[in-house]
């Protein structure tokens, strides 16, 4: 392919990028239009497959005119972040403790294997029965769901520490704590962050399952109630809301990853370098 065609002018002088965006928009609009026409012409049962315009109507209703989604969204996201923080901190701490100790690693391994095979979300009814209805059982479910990925990843990161660097640290007489905070954890950060990303996604699923089981408030119970009432357009509006939330969470984690593991990217290095320089000059 000739080089200019890659990012220069396409046919008729329209840049390739614009043409691609137009193409994406065209495909999307065609799909939506086909759906709308199919629903209006009666090929799709409006009771089960709501029209796109009906979904837009519901968006306006639940966000602006009724505005009832805000409360549920607030409740659910609060639970997600509380459970995620507790679960992932627990996972990282236990993971680094177990990873550091070869004996503990050997004895914990079979339980980890068994737990890994169990669908963790399945414990939800049990936890609700044990802890009662309310926020604490929901948070416990989310903790359980998002404990595992950070735990495993921290463990893997700690175990796979660079041998040569470890030797250097040891020969310079570093203490165990120094090795942990200055070598092992920084080296493991990318892996741990990958685990955190999985955990945050899982915690979103966890809160939904918890709310499906005890339907008092939250976005999960809202979806369930709308579907029970066959108000599918509103249910879809809630689900698209979750798509946006999921996307924001994904992007947010990516940014956090770049901020914490600053040595893996150019802008982060520049930022920390400038800060250190400023500190030296004072």
Partner 1 sequence: MSAPFGQLQWLRACYRALPHLGLFALLIAAWEVLVRTGVIASIMVPRPSSIGASIVELYFVKGTIWRHFFITLGEAVGGFLIGAAIAVALAIGSSLWEPFRRYVSPYAVVLNVTPGIALTPIIIAWFGFGMGSKMALAAIISFFPIFVNTLTGLTQPDTEREELFRSLGSSERQVFWMLRVPSALPLMFAGFKIGLTTALIGAVVAEFAQATEGVGVLMSRFSFQLNMGASIATLLSMTLIGLILFYSMEFLDDRTVFWRREERRAAASRNRARAWKRYAKLNSKSGSSI
Residues 209-228 binding partner 1 (CB under 8 A) are: 209, 212-213, 220, 223-224, 226-228
Residues 75-94 close enough to bind partner 1 by CB under 8 A:
none
Q: Does 186 participate in binding partner 1 (rule CB under 8 A)?
A: no
Q: Is the dihedral of CA 216, 220, 225, 228 positive or negative?
A: negative
Does residue 12 interact with partner 1 by CB under 8 A?
no
Number of residues that bind partner 1 (CB under 8 A): 48
Note whether 121 binds partner 1 by CB under 8 A.
yes
- The residue written with tokens 């805000």 in the block is 70
**How far, in Å, CA of 277 to CA of 223, rounded?**
52
Q: How far is the CB of 130 from partner 1 (least distance, A)?
A: 4
> Counting beta carbons within 10 angstroms of the beta carbon of residue 63, is it exposed (0 to 12), middle (13 to 18) or buried (19 or more)?
middle
Instruction: Work out whether 129 is an interface residue with partner 1 (CB under 8 A).
Output: yes
Sorted by sequence, the CB contacts under 8 Å of residue 253 that are 6+ apart come out as 193, 196, 197, 200
The only residue of 201, 258, 261, 271 in contact with partner 1, by rule CB under 8 A: 201
List, in order, residues 6 or more apart from 235 with CB less than 8 Å away.
223, 226, 227
Helix (H, G, I), strand (E, B) or coil at 174: coil
Return the residue of 117, 171, 277, 282 that touches partner 1, per CB under 8 A. 117
Residue 122 binds partner 1 (CB under 8 A): yes
Q: How far apart are CA 233 and CA 49, in angstroms?
A: 8
Q: Which of residues 18-37 bind partner 1 (CB under 8 A)?
A: 20, 23-24, 27
Phi-psi region of 42 (alpha: psi -120 to 50; beta: other; left: phi over 0): left
When asked if residue 118 is in the footprint of partner 1 (CB under 8 A), the reply is yes
Interacting residues with partner 1 (CB under 8 A): 20, 23-24, 27, 48, 107, 110, 114, 116-119, 121-126, 128-131, 201, 204-205, 208-209, 212-213, 220, 223-224, 226-228, 230, 232, 235-236, 238-240, 242-243, 246-247, 249-250
């Amino acid at each position: 392919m000739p080089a200019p065609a890659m990012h220069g002018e396409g046919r008729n002088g329209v840049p390739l990028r614009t043409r691609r965006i137009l193409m994406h928009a065209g495909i999307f609009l065609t799909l939506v239009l086909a759906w709308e026409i199919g629903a209006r012409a009666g090929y799709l049962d409006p009771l089960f497959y709501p029209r796109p315009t009906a979904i837009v109507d519901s968006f306006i209703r639940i966000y602006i005119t009724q505005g009832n989604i805000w409360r549920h969204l607030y409740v659910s996201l609060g639970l997600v972040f509380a459970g995620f923080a507790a679960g992932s901190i627990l996972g990282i701490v236990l993971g680094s403790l177990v990873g550091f100790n070869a004996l503990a690693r050997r004895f914990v391994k079979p339980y980890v294997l068994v737990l890994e095979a169990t669908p963790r979300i399945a414990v939800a009814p049990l936890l609700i029965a044990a802890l009662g209805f309310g926020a604490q059982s929901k948070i416990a479910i989310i903790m359980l769901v998002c404990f595992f990925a950070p735990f495993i990843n921290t463990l893997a990161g700690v175990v796979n520490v660079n041998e040569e660097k470890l030797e250097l640290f040891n020969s310079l007489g570093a203490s165990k704590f120094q090795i942990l905070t200055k070598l092992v954890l920084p080296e493991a950060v990318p892996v741990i962050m990958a685990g955190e990303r999985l955990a945050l996604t899982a915690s979103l699923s966890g809160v939904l399952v918890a709310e499906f089981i005890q339907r008092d408030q939250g976005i999960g119970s809202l979806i369930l109630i709308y579907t029970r009432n066959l108000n599918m357009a509103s249910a879809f509006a809630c689900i698209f809301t979750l798509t946006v939330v999921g996307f924001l969470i994904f992007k947010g984690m990516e940014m956090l990853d770049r901020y914490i593991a600053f040595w893996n990217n150019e802008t982060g290095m520049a930022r920390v370098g400038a800060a250190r320089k400023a500190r030296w000059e004072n």
